[in-house]
Chain A
Amino acid sequence: MQQSLLVLTVAVALGNAVAIAQQTTACSNCDLGRSRVEAIAEEFATDVHARNGMGCNACHTGAGRGAQAKGISAIPRQRIPELCGSCHADVDRIKRLNPSLHTDQLAQYRTSVHGIKLAEGDKKVAVCTDCHGVHSILPASDPHSAVHPLNVAHTCQRCHADAEYMKPYHIATDQYAGYTDGAHHEAMVSRGDLSAPTCTTCHGSHGAVPTGIESVASVCGTCHVLQAKYFEESPHKRIFALMNIASCVTCHSSHRVRHPDDTFVGTGPKAVCGNCHTPDEPAGQMANGIHDRFQRLEADLAGAKSLLDRAEHSGMDVSGVQFELSQAGDALTKARVTLHTATLSRVTEDVNTGTAVVVKAHQAGEEALREQGRRRKLVLIPLVAIVALLFSLGAYIREIERAPGSATGTKR
């Protein structure tokens, strides 16, 4: 099997090499010069198009010699989306090559800010080759591809973090710095979770647009389903809409999305509720109430865990209770999600579920330690008997050795 695969791979590689060599020969007399063409041909050998049997003339349709060749050495930027779209928007063609590949990239691109500005004559905006590469295009699933999930943010920042380049557009250039400092980037890079969000997850890829105020909750809600649902049910929904402020990002920020913790809740120094509410008003008091409930359950949970650990280390089996205690952690997590309803009674309900589990676990832990204590006391009985025997033996030895000549016998 492996041998067959090897033969097949070599055959395909040889076929491609022959095809590219033919193209190279055909293009060798162009103004770029032989060495430059050879360099491009070498680069193109790794390209997904070359691997599918395409050559230079698939894009450079005017490939030829002399004066005609001069015009095709570089394809004008404004023509690139249409050129790529001539194949990639061709459903029949793409279906034959890769049925799972989408064919709406060009249509999407035309609706994007990049596409609209390009149509207006702005040649600085991104076209296909800016993100995908020119002669070394790789499938997005290839980790070396500039559009692989791990590399997307870096690819976007090449323009969007360049303050000079972005000056005419009057938009911020700190998105990449914020993103790389946030929880989403950490999930993607540190944990290798390729499903974690990157630029294109929220803004779209080919149809990239800034996320509007009204669509923020929908975008975040594609992953954070429950949080979005609860926010829809909260009093904040109507008020945010009235004030014309974005939902999720108002509390969580947009690109620099940090891991939320309980200090976010309430009116404390780090709390986001305090941005709008004071500690004295009912909403501020409620936020502080929620914060206190979280803190108490967290502390109770840690206390019960520590108690069960002590019981376990003393040799008692508390694995069943330890498993049950994980449900209290789940309840706390759920309460932290229910927080998005901004309704004290609903949060309290979840917290109380967790507290009930913690109380039960705490009782079980104390019982295990009491049982351990009983066991230790029980062991005292044989211990006393053994020590008594020890002293009796000592006394008996002294007694039998007190008699003269009783300790010694014949030599061996």
Chain B
Amino acid sequence: MKTAVLVRTWIEERLEVDQFIAPLRSKTVPRHRFSIWYFLGGITLFLFFVQVLTGLLLLLYYRPSTQEAYESVQYITTRVQFGWLVRSIHFWSANLMIFMAFAHMFSVVFLRAYRKPRELTWMSGMALLFLTLGFGFSGYLLPWTMLSFFATKVGTEVAGQVPVVGHTLLVFMRGGEDVSGATLARFFSLHVVMLPALAATLLMFHLWLVQKFGMSVPPSVERRWAQIPEVRKEVRFFPNFLLRDLMTWCAILATLVVLAALFPAQLGHKADPFAPTPFGIKPEWYFLAQFQTLRLLPAKILGIEGELIGVFGFGLAAAVWLALPLLESHLGRNGPRWVRTAALLGMVYLGSLTLYAYFAK
């Protein structure tokens, strides 16, 4: 104990850490019946750190070429000590991170945490959600398995449907006309360099905004607190809220360990570009709704290709959702109600189409 105090004093004398912690000590977080939703952002952040850590460990052995990618992942899974655990945690953490990012986004919508002055917090969060999906899409190809190869082929074909620049985008994504070693190389660089750099920058901006504006209080709670100031409750950020955050992180880590042990990530068969497309090929669950929508659309709608309309629709929906705080103010008094209805419909659409695609043959 005496040693710990000595070390702390030694560090304090040199770095003056206390002056950085002091604002955190005085910072508070509102406490109310919706407080539990505040943890989703922290969980997503924790899962991002898990991804970075396990990703770095996987990088020690992974080799990004069509000749070695599959074999190196196989080596990690079978020969490297705890390689299977690291890979399985990376796999489950990726899935949970995407789920938590969506849950965080919807909780922000329903609690109207995007309203002034937090518009930029919302937009940077949405950009992070898109980047998370980009992580999922680019990382899925890296083991170079049959499923990942053909899912990437189908996925990039969808990108090729974008009006005017579709073909250029497809060639840019694939590094040529077909999914090949060039695609694997650029997906690898995207997954481990470009996206992390972008995500880290955006994440710092997002967290700075969260710190700057503090946690948003839902309008209903805000009104009640204004009427009855004595019911207002707050909790210290440091250490009380942070320790609760740590508790949720422990619970998530335990969940990850259990999932990795009970349902380890599988590898499947190595990609064969000359093999016919496997029957019933589907993307990962987070793209299933869009995939099923494109499948259900008729070939032609008013003389225009159905897939083109679908891709345009997704782009438009994403743009509208990104600009949600700005658009809401233009909708007048009923704006919040419209947004809630749209969010509810969006959740029903994503959930039902995902289930439909999952069980469809």
Contacts and interface: CB of A to CB of B under 8 A. Distances in A.
State whether these chains interact: yes
B235 interface: yes
A389 B77 CA distance: 29
Interface string B215-226: 000000000000
Contacts of B265: 315
A372 B260 CA distance: 12
Interface in B12-67: 25-28
A315 B246 contact: no
Interface residues of B, number: 35
Contact of A396 (B233, B236, B243, B260): B243
Interface string A260-296: 0000000000000000000000000000000000000
B203 interface: no
A382 B266 contact: no
18 contacts: A312-B266, A313-B266, A314-B264, A315-B88, A315-B266, A317-B74, A317-B77, A317-B78, A317-B267, A375-B84, A375-B85, A379-B261, A383-B254, A383-B258, A390-B247, A393-B243, A397-B247, A407-B240
A87 interface: no
A394 B247 contact: yes
B257 A379 contact: yes
B264 A315 contact: yes
A76 interface: no
B77 A376 contact: no
B243 A376 contact: no
Instruction: In the A-B complex, list the 4 residue pairs whose CB atoms are closest, starting with the nearest.
Output: A315-B264, A317-B78, A390-B250, A409-B236
A376 B262 contact: yes
B234 interface: yes
B271 to A, nearest CB: 15
Interface string A310-342: 001111110100000000000000000000000
B260 A409 contact: no
B79 to A, nearest CB: 9
User: Interface majority SS on B: helix, strand, loop or mixed?
Assistant: helix
B25 A409 contact: yes
A167 interface: no
B243 A397 contact: yes
A38 B244 CA distance: 95
Contacts of B117: none
B250 A383 contact: no
Contact of A408 (B74, B235, B247): B235
A70 to B, nearest CB: 60
B250 A389 contact: yes
A104 interface: no
Contacts of A379: 85, 257-258, 260-261
Contacts of A96: none
Nearest to A410: B26
B284 to A, nearest CB: 18
Interface string A332-356: 0000000000000000000000000
Interface string A47-78: 00000000000000000000000000000000
A394 B242 CA distance: 12
A386 B250 contact: yes
B239 interface: yes
B251 interface: yes
Interface string A374-412: 011001001100110110011011001100001111111
